[in-house]
A and B are shown apart, each in its own frame.
Chain A
Amino acid sequence: MVANFDIKKGLERLRMMERIRAFEITAKAAAIDEELVLGAIHLCLGQEAVATGVIEPLRTGDYITSTHRGHGHTLAKGADPAAMMKELLGRAGGCCGGKGGSMHIADFGVGMLGANGVVSANITIAAGAAHGVKLLGGDQVTVCFFGDGATNRGPFLEGLNWAAVFDLPILFVCEDNRYSASTLTSEMTGGDGPAARAKAQGLPTHVADGNDVTALAETAEEILNRIRETGQPEFLHAITYRVDGHTYFDPAPYRPEGEALREAEQNCPIVRLRDALGSAGAEAAVMDSIRTEAAVEMTAALDAARAAPWPLDQSVFDDVQDVGSPAQEAY
């Protein structure tokens, strides 16, 4: 038995990570086996702890922005997996009405201001959400998730500087899975990495094991409490690993042999939490049933999506613009 390990919290975190993993596995199978997912999806298998741990201390009204690899963040922020799955299948009732798909998944109702198909683009947008909150006198904090590859685009510099200059209540989270699409990020990056760059711009920085959900959640809570108090931006570099390829159809042959398997076996955030829970006295059967329940939930989400109709044809011209709308004038 490990003293001071909060089993109840641990099981909640396990449940969220299992839900994210089950969502990804279900979506991948729907793409490969049934060809129901039509476009590219970027899975966060192996990265579940970052979304789970960092988002845990957030309130529903707080904001997040995400990346092309955004299913985990969206689920962790409280979105409905059936609406998400419908979006992946391009169906009516999808959280974006079937217009965005995986890469533009969003649920503003739970403060999830959108995944983004352009690497790094969400960084200035997130800074702006925090800026808007400050102008409006709100008390929400914003968390911006981006990958290691995003640190090599200009918006990384511009967005972090913006938050520093305007004293904005935002946490930047570099979810470092080590690969920029199919290239090792370290081979394409000068200097000492994301935290060094953030530090150079005046942000307090933290480096964390992105696969240790317990430590990550505690660190995130501490940082976010401070941001709520000071209104100042901070930076978290969470080091994790992308077990799957860049997209679900990328076999990732560019990785050293055995790397993915080793990470999946020895550094899996779910296995690591289960081990910790087990040592603290949690029952394996309870943990197994959490996994089963997650699988059942996501299978039901896929069933709902499979049964959903396509969006109405005429909806293609909805929500483009009010003035000069294509519904009135498209030529």
Chain B
Amino acid sequence: MAEMTYADAAKLAIAEAMRTDETVWCVGEDLGRGGVFKQYTGLVEEFGPKRISDAPISEAAIMGSAFGAAMVGTRPIVEMRFADFALCATDELVNQIAKARFMFGGQARAPMVIRKPMGMWRSSAAQHSQCLESWYVHIPGLVVVCPATPQDNYSMMRAAIACDDPVVYLEHKNLWALEGEVDTTLVGKFGQAQVRRQGNDVTLVSWSNTANLCVEAAETLAAQGISAEVIDLVSLWPWDKPAVLASVRKTGRLVVAHESVAVGGFGAEVVATVAQNVLLKSRPVRLGAPRGLIAYAPNLEDQMRVTAEMITDATRNLMETESV
């Protein structure tokens, strides 16, 4: 076990993979300077500029050429800088990478990790703050990961690099400096949730930064006599239905919370799946951002946030409503 940040945990996983597999390489803007969030600091010194490759500000070419290089036998880690900018490479990801293996009848493989730092921190406005994970879950061919802790950012990065499918790897910008214990013997498993806190009264389901807010909310609720179980999905496709269903069968109550817009969000998928399989004691609760846009001014920006307090209040209200 070692104490490290969320950013360093993923970096360690990358460095370890690059030491053992010469075909692994990273490509993106400013990687030679450590990346825009310093999540690549020191790697170019060890691996050189061919394998920690700077790129022009050409998202389509970064994504498309990494895909071409993947098809001929390399394992690229693609850095998109901001999840928002990755939209400039949507054709490359959605029409090409996700579909190539199938369209070509199994001839092509795209073993790629596509890193997209996402989410709100402070005053970054509408083009540097989005969480669009549900878009990618909607695209067959892609694996979608949203780690929330240093441990998961290490374990899941190891799994993503080893994966022969394209993995959309959504790190939350707010978590780069988050510190935690990391067991470097662990490799993550896609579709395996983390039970971040055990409880009996209500199940809180989330992922990424909001999963951490759910843990915070569960601690507050515990002080108020409510025992909340927190399930951090970690990966959204595949996702750990058995873990969620087992938990709600135990608690009979469900709260799903995420940072992205509630409408059409992955929370709807979780609620629908639970509703199809389990008769709950009370109506499920879904927390997500309003279908509005993220502003620059803090008072406007905050209206788009799902906070630990909101999760706490919604859960308490749910516990106070009568069972159906």
Contact = CB atoms under 8 A, between A and B. Distances in A.
Contacts of A294: none
Contact of B67 (A63, A128, A321, A326): A128
A121 B104 contact: no
Contacts of A113: 68, 71-72, 108
Q: Interface centre among B69, B108, B191, by most A CB within 10 Å?
A: B69
Contacts of B141: 320-321
Contacts of B92: 121, 124-125
A287 interface: no
A233 interface: no
A159 interface: yes
A39 interface: no
Interface string B51-86: 101001010110111111111111000000000000
Interface stretch (A98-106, A190-198, A236-244, A258-266): A98-106
Interface in A108-149: 108-109, 113-114, 116-118, 121, 123-133, 135-136, 138
Contacts of B187: none
B101 A132 contact: no
A127 B141 CA distance: 23
A61 to B, nearest CB: 10
B74 A136 contact: yes
Contacts of A319: 101-102, 105-106
Nearest to B143: A323
Interface string B117-154: 00000000000000000000000111100000000000
Name which of A94, A128, A166 has the most chain B CB atoms within 10 A of its CB.
A128
B104 to A, nearest CB: 4
A321 B61 contact: no
Interface string A148-186: 000000110011011001100000000000000000000
B46 interface: no
Interface in B90-118: 91-92, 95-96, 100-108
B164 interface: yes
Interface string A53-73: 000000000010100000000
B176 interface: no
Contacts of A277: none
B64 A121 contact: yes
A187 interface: no
Given A132-B74, A136-B74, A100 B65 contact: no
B165 interface: yes
Given A136-B72, A161-B56, A326-B140, A124 B64 contact: yes
A277 B23 CA distance: 48
B164 A165 contact: no
A313 interface: no
A159 B72 contact: no
Nearest to B167: A323
Given A96-B107, A323-B163, A155 B60 contact: yes
Interface string A231-259: 00000000000000000000000000000
B237 A127 contact: no
B42 interface: no
B135 to A, nearest CB: 16
B91 A118 contact: yes
Given A125-B67, A321-B140, A104 B104 contact: yes
Given A108-B104, A128-B66, A324 B190 contact: yes
Interface in A2-37: none
B238 interface: yes
Contact of A114 (B60, B91, B100, B191): B100
B105 A324 contact: no
A96 B65 contact: no
B50 interface: yes
Nearest to B64: A124
A106 B104 contact: yes
B207 interface: no
A270 interface: no
B68 A154 contact: no
A158 B58 contact: yes
Contacts of A125: 64-65, 67-68, 71, 92, 96
B143 A324 contact: yes
Nearest to A161: B56
Given A96-B104, A329-B238, A124 B65 contact: yes
Contacts of A114: 100, 103-104, 108
A95 interface: yes
Nearest to A319: B106
Contacts of A132: 68-74
A159 B191 CA distance: 36
30 contacts: A94-B105, A99-B102, A99-B104, A100-B104, A100-B105, A104-B103, A104-B104, A106-B103, A106-B105, A107-B107, A114-B103, A118-B95, A121-B91, A124-B61, A124-B92, A125-B65, A125-B67, A128-B66, A129-B69, A129-B72, A131-B69, A135-B51, A135-B74, A155-B61, A159-B64, A161-B58, A162-B56, A319-B106, A322-B164, A326-B140
Interface of B: 23, 25, 50-51, 53, 56, 58, 60-61, 63-74, 91-92, 95-96, 100-108, 140-143, 163-165, 190-191, 237-238
Rank and list the top 7 A-B pairs by shortest CB-CB distance, nearest first.
A128-B68, A124-B64, A128-B65, A132-B69, A324-B238, A96-B105, A97-B105
Given A128-B69, A129-B71, 12 more contacts: A97-B105, A106-B103, A106-B108, A121-B96, A124-B67, A138-B72, A154-B60, A161-B56, A162-B56, A319-B106, A321-B140, A324-B191
